[in-house]
């Protein structure tokens, strides 16, 4: 197996200015694996759910080429639940309720075939669990990790340990500033890369994303959407498209990383157009191709070698 994804499987209850969804399939691993499945199959997924988790949800994941043998089902437990409400501008949200349930005692066990995965994606989850996963991988070539403010503030030592063991961290701009205490993103990025990851992606929501690789910086635009329906899972979907693209490409270099960021951004632009995972359920490769063409148009211009005609002055 080429790609192994670890994270949460959840039921989300979401309110946006445009409507609400109750007990919708969510969780970092669900979004990441589904997005990645458009690039590479099978995608191994590791997580935990309760007896209340609908068999149809696992069946859906399998229909996308996701190997769910790493999903532990605790018949007597309840699935992790999150409830949130987005503000009018969709840039901020309030968490209304968090029920860890089976996640509270999750002890991830990676099925044997998945331990050979070359690409590993650690979705947003307790850094201690991310470490337990890494301990089980035999020969990972590229490890990408997501996190959030809750772990940056709550378990900083464990998170720092994770950072020494991953190749790439994906966080958003406010999390980067929180992690380093530095407002300038370029300085903040350098500080984070000194903590371990040699590749860093800083997501900026409607302003796109920055990719740092050594001194090289790539600025990816966000797709200008006239209506964003539900931002939930956009970051996880980005991560899924990103790692999925790399796993498909089979090699990680300055060029594949740039294209991976664009592919992740394209997948995320679909995600926010509908509630929950709905927009990711039946995408076609042709639709993704069209969106990638639109992304190309968004940032492309013809470069002039000597725009001012006089480089000597």
Nearer to a copy of itself, 130 or 263 (CB): 263
38 belongs to the binding site for a copy of itself (CB under 8 A): yes
311 belongs to the binding site for a copy of itself (CB under 8 A): yes
- 15, 23, 206, 273: which one contacts a copy of itself (CB under 8 A)? 206
Q: How far is the CB of 289 from a copy of itself (least distance, A)?
A: 5
**Which tokens sit at 226?**
């006239």
Asked if 48 contacts 9 with a C-beta cutoff of 8 angstroms, the reply is: yes
Residues 258-297 that bind a copy of itself (CB under 8 A): 258-259, 262-263, 284-286, 288-289, 292, 296-297
Count CA atoms closer than 13 A to 191's CA, side-chain side: 14
Residues 212-241 that bind a copy of itself (CB under 8 A): 216-222, 224-228
Nearer to a copy of itself, 76 or 310 (CB): 310
Q: If DSSP codes are grouped into helix, strand and coil, which group holds residue 82?
A: strand
40-44-48-52 Cα dihedral, nearest 10 degrees: 60
Q: How far is the CB of 24 from a copy of itself (least distance, A)?
A: 24
181 belongs to the binding site for a copy of itself (CB under 8 A): no
Contact mark string toward a copy of itself, 90..129, x via CB under 8 A: ----------------------------------------
Asked if 14 contacts 232 with a C-beta cutoff of 8 angstroms, the reply is: yes
194 belongs to the binding site for a copy of itself (CB under 8 A): no
Q: How far is the CB of 47 from a copy of itself (least distance, A)?
A: 26
Beta bridge partners of 95: 84
183 belongs to the binding site for a copy of itself (CB under 8 A): yes
207 belongs to the binding site for a copy of itself (CB under 8 A): yes
The radius of gyration of the chain's CA atoms, rounded to the nearest angstrom, is: 19
Cβ contacts of residue 263 below 8 Å, gap of 6+?
39, 241, 242, 244, 245, 292
**Which tokens sit at 251?**
């090699």
Assign residue 183 a region (left: φ > 0; alpha: ψ between -120 and 50; beta: otherwise). alpha
> CA-to-CA distance for 224 and 102, rounded, in angstroms?
38
For a copy of itself, the binding residues (CB under 8 A) are 38-39, 88-89, 183-187, 204, 206-208, 210, 216-222, 224-228, 245, 248, 255, 258-259, 262-263, 284-286, 288-289, 292, 296-304, 306-313
């Amino acid at each position: 197996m080429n790609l192994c994804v670890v994270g949460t499987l959840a039921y989300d209850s979401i309110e946006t200015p445009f409507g609400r969804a109750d007990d919708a399939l969510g969780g970092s691993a669900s979004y990441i694996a589904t997005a990645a499945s458009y690039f590479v199959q099978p995608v191994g997924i590791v997580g935990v759910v309760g007896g209340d988790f609908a068999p149809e949800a696992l069946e859906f994941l399998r229909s996308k080429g996701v190997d769910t043998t790493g999903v532990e089902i605790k018949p007597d437990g309840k699935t992790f639940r999150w409830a949130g409400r987005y503000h009018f501008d969709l840039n901020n949200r309030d968490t209304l309720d968090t029920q860890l349930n089976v996640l509270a005692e999750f002890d991830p066990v990676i099925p044997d075939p998945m331990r050979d995965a070359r690409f590993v994606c650690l979705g947003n989850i307790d850094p201690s669990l991310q470490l337990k996963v890494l301990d089980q991988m035999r020969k990972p070539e590229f490890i990408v990790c997501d996190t959030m403010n809750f772990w940056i503030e709550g378990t900083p030592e464990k998170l720092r340990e994770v950072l020494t063991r991953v190749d790439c961290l994906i966080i958003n701009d406010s999390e980067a500033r929180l992690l380093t205490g530095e407002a300038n993103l370029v300085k903040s990025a350098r500080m984070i890369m000194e903590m371990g990851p040699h590749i860093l992606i800083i997501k900026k929501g409607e302003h796109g994303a920055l990719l740092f690789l050594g001194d090289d910086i790539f600025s990816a635009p966000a797709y200008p959407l006239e209506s964003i329906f539900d931002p939930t899972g956009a970051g996880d979907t980005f991560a899924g498209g990103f790692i999925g693209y790399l796993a498909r490409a089979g090699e990680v270099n300055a060029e594949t990383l740039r294209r991976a960021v664009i592919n992740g951004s394209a997948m995320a632009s679909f995600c926010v157009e509908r509630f929950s995972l709905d927009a990711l359920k039946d995408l076609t490769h042709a639709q993704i191709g069209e969106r990638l063409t639109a992304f190309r148009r968004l940032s492309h211009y013809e470069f002039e070698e000597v725009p001012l005609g006089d480089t000597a002055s």
